[in-house]
A and B are shown apart, each in its own frame.
Chain A
Amino acid sequence: MNRRTGFLVAAGCVAISTIMLLPLVYSMLASIKPAAEAAATPPTYLPHGISLDSYRRLWDYQEGLLTYLGNSLGAAVLTIVLTLLLTVPAGYALARFPIPGKELIFIVLLLSLIVPYQALLTPMFLMFAKIGLTNSAIGLAVLHTTIQLPFSLYILRNSFAAVPRETEEAAVMDGAGSLQTLLRIFIPPTVPAVVTVTLFAFIASWNEFLGALVMMSAGERFTLPVILATARTETSLGGTDWGMLQAGVTISIIPCVLVYLLLQRYYMAGLMSGAVK
């Protein structure tokens, strides 16, 4: 590649990156505009003043921002815990143990890969309503775990399968039980896979919308995206509170972008090895 082409490519990269970032930056800037300016028509390009009013209004909105953040975070943390509790032992066994009917079991475990959860929502809702899992963080986490389970199991099983036989045999010779072997021999080299699974489970649960909309009908149980969606069409005196909406968008986006930037390597590993989502 000659210098001129190289320069053009670099310029193209910069231009496209700028276009991609503009909506996010513009939304963040809108969230710090004073109330009157955030409601202006036509909208201003850059904030004329800076204020945290929109964040204050969001903080006190209906049940309060902390309630909605707590609901979103609670579901996400429970999804991570539940996913790992189920898929770490199952992945270990599928990678290393003789199991009667192993092939069939594996196919059943990957079933939700071929049945989209959007199509199962009606019967799931009825079942959850019966056993008291609607309007509950555990219920939402159960739903999100059904979505994440195949991907997590697949990644972990492959990771456990890559652990050398020799180290495992040495541990067994020393009389270590299967659980000890898992914890001492198998977990340390598969920490990257566990991080990948955790990261994907967090992002998926934090961002999921339809299930949260259906399963959480009580206002104080809404997750952050659901309460923002209801706030978008609020017909109060001033119409939609655009500044507050963008404050909410900013707060929803920050955790995802941060964990992605910090754990990019793990994210890409998950994407490359399990692009079957």
Chain B
Amino acid sequence: MRHRWTGLAYVAPALAFVLVFTVYPLGRMIWLSLHEWSLIAEPHFIGLENFRTAFSDRQFWVSFLFTLEYTALITPVLIVGGYLLALLTASASRVRAIARTIIFVPVVIGLGVSSLLWYWLFSTDFGVINRILLDLGVVDQPVLWLGVDAGTSNSAISVSVVWKVIGFGMILFVGAIQAIPTEITEASLVDGAGYLQRVGRVILPLTMRTVLLVTLVSVIGSLLAFDQFYIMTAGQPQNETATSVFFVYLNSFPYLKLGYGAALSLILAATILAFTVVQLVLTRRSEA
């Protein structure tokens, strides 16, 4: 009935686009990672030297470990917090629907823009957060939140990102909780199970796949963090708060070590790929 080439003609533009703007750069990245190049001289082949450099580069490990630290700090807060908010707002009532809408608002604004907002809120002398803490007598000196100490910066930035993205997990958890057939929840009510028992025995087990999925999405997002650190600390002090993507950016653009930047990109892509494959397998399974 349908000519097989017709379909191909419809797919062709998208396919050509992906081949030129995704597949080719991917190949180019692999090629670059095996070369040394600073735009000035000709690129020359150095084999796996860039990777060897990376693994012995202290700054590479500092950025990698810092990114892991940030991910470890923020993920549990996002997942547990998002789930608690979902439990609070999951059932149908006007107040809860409005609360869900409001909690989700920061998700749709830009991470760069929200980082600019929190950069100001956390400012030492001009920020309202220090003013509140001073007025309440919690601290007696303005706190240097950003760019002075890596741990303090990490906590402050985590607060801003939790505010920004907690609604994402909440909405998906609400969807999963609402998808539980009412017979099941009602049956547990007949058993006389208290609310906490119902959450632990019925709701949580039945929404576990969504919890895993959101955890993976959050972890991938955190491992790729850039905007909030570029804007709120600019990597200070001494690049201690430069994340992995930040480190790739520094080497590729300001420093113009293109081969090295490509090798770092490749290491990053491989790390993300491992997590993404798990995520896609889970998604496929949840569709089945």
Q: Could you list which residues of chain A lie within 8 angstroms of chain B, going by C-beta atoms? A: 9-10, 12-14, 16-17, 20-21, 23-24, 26-27, 30, 39-43, 45, 85-87, 89-90, 92-94, 96-100, 102, 105, 108-109, 111-116, 118-127, 142-143, 145-146, 149, 153, 172, 178, 203, 206-210, 213-214, 225-226, 228-229, 232-233, 240, 242, 245-246, 248-249, 252-253, 256-257, 259-261, 264, 267-268, 271-272, 275-277
Contact at B95–A41, with CB atoms within 8 Å? no
Contact at A126–B117, with CB atoms within 8 Å? no
Contact at B4–A120, with CB atoms within 8 Å? no
Contact at B15–A228, with CB atoms within 8 Å? no
Q: Of all chain B residues, which has the CB nearest A45?
A: B128
Q: B1-22 vs A: 1/0 string, CB under 8 Å?
A: 1101011111101110111011
Interface centre among B21, B105, B118, B234 (most CB of A within 10 A): B21
Lowest 8 CB-CB distances: which A-B pairs, in order?
A97-B7, A207-B110, A93-B10, A209-B112, A13-B99, A90-B14, A123-B28, A119-B269
Minimum C-beta distance from B130 to chain A (A):
7
Pick from A115, A142, A203: contact of B108, CB under 8 Å: A203
Contact at B19–A108, with CB atoms within 8 Å? yes
In the complex with contacts A248-B116, A256-B110, A42-B99 CB distance below 8 A = no
The complex places the Cα of A113 from the Cα of B14 at a distance, in Å, of 15
Q: Of all chain B residues, which has the CB nearest A258?
A: B108
Contact at A89–B14, with CB atoms within 8 Å? yes
Contact at B117–A246, with CB atoms within 8 Å? yes
Contact at A118–B248, with CB atoms within 8 Å? yes
The complex places the Cα of A86 from the Cα of B21 at a distance, in Å, of 13
Contact at A13–B7, with CB atoms within 8 Å? no
Decide yes or no whether B82 CB sits under 8 A from chain A. Answer: no
The complex places the Cα of A23 from the Cα of B106 at a distance, in Å, of 10
Q: Of all chain B residues, which has the CB nearest A275?
A: B172
Contact at A16–B103, with CB atoms within 8 Å? yes
25 A-B residue pairs with Cβ-Cβ distance under 8 Å, sorted by A, are A13-B95, A86-B13, A96-B2, A97-B6, A98-B7, A108-B18, A111-B18, A118-B248, A120-B22, A123-B29, A123-B262, A142-B21, A149-B17, A149-B18, A178-B6, A178-B10, A209-B226, A228-B112, A232-B231, A242-B126, A249-B113, A253-B109, A257-B109, A272-B172, A275-B217
Contact at A116–B269, with CB atoms within 8 Å? yes
Q: Of all chain B residues, which has the CB nearest A152?
A: B14
Contact at A232–B88, with CB atoms within 8 Å? no
In the complex with contacts A87-B14, A100-B4, A115-B26 CB distance below 8 A = yes
Decide yes or no whether B180 CB sits under 8 A from chain A. Answer: no
How many chain B residues sit at the interface, stated as a range, is 35 or more
Q: Of all chain A residues, which has the CB nearest B213?
A: A275
Contact at B272–A116, with CB atoms within 8 Å? yes
Using Cβ atoms and an 8 Å threshold, which residues of chain B touch A100?
A: 4, 8
The complex places the Cα of A248 from the Cα of B226 at a distance, in Å, of 20
A-side interface mostly? helix
Contact at B120–A108, with CB atoms within 8 Å? no
Contact at B125–A41, with CB atoms within 8 Å? yes
Minimum C-beta distance from B83 to chain A (A):
14
The complex places the Cα of A42 from the Cα of B24 at a distance, in Å, of 53
In the complex with contacts A115-B269, A123-B29, A271-B172, A17-B99 CB distance below 8 A = yes
Using Cβ atoms and an 8 Å threshold, which residues of chain B touch A145?
A: 17, 21
The complex places the Cα of A200 from the Cα of B134 at a distance, in Å, of 41
Pick from B171, B234, B279: contact of A271, CB under 8 Å: B171
The complex places the Cα of A272 from the Cα of B25 at a distance, in Å, of 31
Minimum C-beta distance from A92 to chain B (A):
6
In the complex with contacts A9-B88, A210-B245, A242-B126, A120-B26 CB distance below 8 A = yes
Using Cβ atoms and an 8 Å threshold, which residues of chain A touch B261?
A: 122
In the complex with contacts A98-B2, A126-B258, A153-B14, A267-B108 CB distance below 8 A = yes
The complex places the Cα of A275 from the Cα of B209 at a distance, in Å, of 13
The complex places the Cα of A86 from the Cα of B17 at a distance, in Å, of 8
In the complex with contacts A94-B11, A126-B28, A277-B217, A115-B22 CB distance below 8 A = yes
Using Cβ atoms and an 8 Å threshold, which residues of chain B touch A14?
A: 95, 99
The complex places the Cα of A115 from the Cα of B167 at a distance, in Å, of 25
In the complex with contacts A225-B112, A257-B105, A119-B248 CB distance below 8 A = yes
In the complex with contacts A114-B276, A116-B224, A120-B26, A99-B7 CB distance below 8 A = yes
